[in-house]
Structure 1
C-alpha cells in the first residue's frame, strides 16, 4: 500500500506532534536506514511512500490535529482533506495528548487516538497505542522476559499515583468540571471527560485488593505523578522502582489516568506481565483482531469491587505452563502489534 503525506505541512518546532509513523522518515539527509532501525525499529523497506497524492492508496495528515488547532491552521487541513476527498483518498489523522481535541466529521478520514470513550467512537475512529521505548532493553539491557514462576497466590503489582484523600478527589473533580465547562462554552477544543477523581479511583481499586487474602499485593504508592520528579525522569530512582515493580510482580493494576487510557497497560505487556485492566469505557488497539480478554484480567468498572476475585479466578484457571506461556505471549503481542512498526504494519492492511 503506497502512502502519501504533505511534507509542506511539517513543522520542526512541533516535532512532538508529527504523525507517529512519519517521525522515522522525516529526518535529515544524513540519517541512515540503519539508524532508523536502531532508533525506531522500522526500516524504509517496511513502508512504501510516494510523493504524488494521485498514486497513493492512503494519505496521512503530517501533523496531529492538535497542531492545526494550536497554530490556528484548521482551514489548511480542512481544505486538504476536501482535496483528498475529490480524489477519493482516505486520510489518516491522529489526535495526541491525554484528552484530544474535537475533529470535524468527514466521510474520508480515519481517526486514530489513544484515549476517548469507546461507546462514543464513530465508525472511522480507532485506538492507537502510545509508543513506548522497550523497557527490557532500556532498563535491564535484555530482550528476554523475566519469567515469573507460577505460585499458588498471584502477586499483584502497582507503583504510582494513588490518593485516597477525599479533599484531593474533590479538587480533581472540580478541575475536570472546569475543563469540561470550557469545552461547552467553546473556550476550549479539548474533549470533555467523565467526572471522577482518577487518583481516588486507583486508590479504591488498590484498597479492594489489599483487603483480600486471595492475592499478594506488591504496591508502591505515590501522592503525586512520578512522585513529583520533574528532571532526569527516565533514570531517576522512582522510575527504576517502577520497572522493578513490574519485573517483580505477576499482574499489574492498570487504571486510566487523566485521559481515558493507561500507558502502564502497554508497559506491563512490554515487560511480559498480565495487566489487570479496569475498563472505564476504554478503547484498545486492534480489538477486531486481538482477543484482549485472553491477555488481561478484564474488570468492568461496575465490578471493580470484585477485582481481587477476578484476579484469583484468572490465576487459578492457568496451569504452570499456561502462566509461563502467557508472559511470553504478552511480550510478543507488544513486539508484534503495539510497537510503532508492529502497530502500523498490523493496522494499515485492515483498512483494505
Structure 2
C-alpha cells in the first residue's frame, strides 16, 4: 500500500472540481478498490509520496500553502505528485516530481510526465444498452465521426481570436509555461474529413457540427447529440480522432471504451502508459505531416488484418479501457510502477 501525504485543507467542496483525481476518488468517492492500494497519512515522515492536493495552477496561487508543502517534501526527500488540469496544462521544474496531465507534446515532455486518460463513464451504461459486440470485417473500412468541424476563413479567424483571448488570460495570470502555437482544430478536422469522404475505398459516416455538442444547452438536446455520437462510434469500425484545443482527444478514449478502433492523427502526442502499452496494436496512428496519405495509411492497416485479428482488436480495446484506462485501474497501475521503482 502506498502512503500519501497532502494538505487536507484543500480536500473540501470548495476545491472539489480542482482536486487531484486520485485524491478525489479516495476522499470524495471513497473508492473501495483504490483504498486497498492507497492510504492518506497525517505525518509526512510516514509517507511514500507527497501529493499536491489540487490543480498545479490553482495551488501555485496559494503561495503560503504551496511553499510550505514543497519545503516539507524537499526536507524529507519525498517524491512529489503534481496534477495539472485543462487543455494545456503546465510544465513544472520541481526536482523529484512527477506530473500528471491530459496532453502536451511528447517531444517536449520529460520521462517523469504521465499522461492521464480522459476519465469517462462507460458508454454501455448510459448510451448503448445493447451491450458490447464486435463488427465483422468488411472490404471497405467503415469510419465514423460526429463532432465540431467547420471550414472557411470566418471560422479560422474566430478560432484565432479565441486563441489570442486565451493568451491574454494566461499573461494576466502570469502562467506562461506551456504556451502553444495556434491550432485551428475544427478547421483541421473539416479538411481531413472532407478528403476521407471523397475516397472511394472508405465507407464514411461523418456528421459535422458547427458548434461543440451542436451548440446544445438543454439536457434533452445534449442527450440526443451524445446518443448520436455513441451510436455512430458503435456502428462504425473506426473513428477519426484529432486533437482539440489541447493536444489530446477525448474521442480517442470514448472509441476504446466502445470497443472500436481509433484513427489517431499524431500531432506529437504522448499516450498513457506508453512504455507498457503497444499502442500500434490498438489504433491506427497517422502521421499528420502528410495529409495526402491519410486514407492510404488507414487502408494499409485495415487490409493487413485478418478477419479474426480485426475482431480481436475490438475485444482488446474494450478490455484495455476496462482494465487499464478507467480512473481506478489506471492509478492502480501507476501505483504498481512506483512500488517497483522503490524496490
TM-score, normalised to structure 2, is 0.92
Q: Deviations over 1:290-310 (max 9, x none)?
A: 111111101011023321111
Equivalent-residue separation in structure 1 for 2:91 and 2:253 (angstroms): 26
Which residue is 2:55 aligned to?
64
Please state how far the C-alpha of 1:227 moved relative to its aligned partner.
0.3
Structure 2 residue corresponding to 1:339, chosen from 288, 302, 326: 326
Equivalent-residue separation in structure 1 for 2:221 and 2:315 (angstroms): 25
Equivalent-residue separation in structure 2 for 1:128 and 1:166 (angstroms): 34
Cα contact 2:128–2:230 (8 A) shared by 1: no
Which residue is 1:94 aligned to?
83
Structure 2: unaligned runs, 5 residues or longer: none
Which residue is 1:121 aligned to?
109
Please state how far the C-alpha of 1:251 moved relative to its aligned partner.
0.3
Q: Deviations over 1:88-133 (max 9, x none)?
A: 1101110111122x45411121111001111111232221111100
Structure 2 residue corresponding to 1:213, chosen from 200, 204, 221: 200
Structure 1 residue corresponding to 2:146, chosen from 159, 162, 165: 159
Q: Deviations over 1:259-292 (max 9, x none)?
A: 1110000000000010000011112110011111
Question: Matched residue of 1:140: which SS?
Answer: coil
Which residue is 2:212 aligned to?
225
Structure 1 residue corresponding to 2:289, chosen from 293, 299, 302: 302
Which residue is 2:256 aligned to?
269
Whether 1:203 and 2:172 are equivalent positions in the alignment is no
The structure in which a higher percent of residues are helix is: 2
Matches within 5 A, 1:286-297: 286-297=273-284
Which residue is 1:44 aligned to?
35
Equivalent-residue separation in structure 2 for 1:129 and 1:74 (angstroms): 29
From the superposition, tell whether residues 108 and 78 of structure 1 become closer, same or farther in structure 2 (CA, over 3 Å): farther
Structure 1: unaligned runs, 5 residues or longer: none
Equivalent-residue separation in structure 2 for 1:112 and 1:225 (angstroms): 26
From the superposition, tell whether residues 63 and 52 of structure 1 become closer, same or farther in structure 2 (CA, over 3 Å): same
Question: Matched residue of 2:206: which SS?
Answer: strand
Please state how far the C-alpha of 1:185 moved relative to its aligned partner.
7.4
Cα contact 2:143–2:239 (8 A) shared by 1: yes
Equivalent-residue separation in structure 2 for 1:26 and 1:280 (angstroms): 36
Paired residues, number: 338
Cα contact 1:295–1:330 (8 A) shared by 2: yes
Please state how far the C-alpha of 1:312 moved relative to its aligned partner.
0.7
Which residue is 2:23 aligned to?
22
Q: Deviations over 1:132-159 (max 9, x none)?
A: 00111221236x4231111111000000
Please state how far the C-alpha of 1:211 moved relative to its aligned partner.
1.6
Equivalent-residue separation in structure 2 for 1:2 and 1:178 (angstroms): 42
Please state how far the C-alpha of 1:167 moved relative to its aligned partner.
1.5
Equivalent-residue separation in structure 1 for 2:237 and 2:285 (angstroms): 15
Whether 1:111 and 2:99 are equivalent positions in the alignment is yes
Cα contact 1:209–1:215 (8 A) shared by 2: yes
Equivalent-residue separation in structure 1 for 2:269 and 2:217 (angstroms): 28
Which residue is 1:134 aligned to?
122
From the superposition, tell whether residues 74 and 337 of structure 1 become closer, same or farther in structure 2 (CA, over 3 Å): farther
TM-score, normalised to structure 1, is 0.90
Q: Report the more deviating stretch, 168-177 or 289-298.
A: 168-177
Question: Matched residue of 2:290: which SS?
Answer: helix
Equivalent-residue separation in structure 1 for 2:220 and 2:76 (angstroms): 46
Question: Matched residue of 2:26: which SS?
Answer: coil
Question: Matched residue of 1:195: which SS?
Answer: coil
Question: Matched residue of 1:25: which SS?
Answer: helix
Please state how far the C-alpha of 1:65 moved relative to its aligned partner.
1.1
From the superposition, tell whether residues 240 and 124 of structure 1 become closer, same or farther in structure 2 (CA, over 3 Å): same
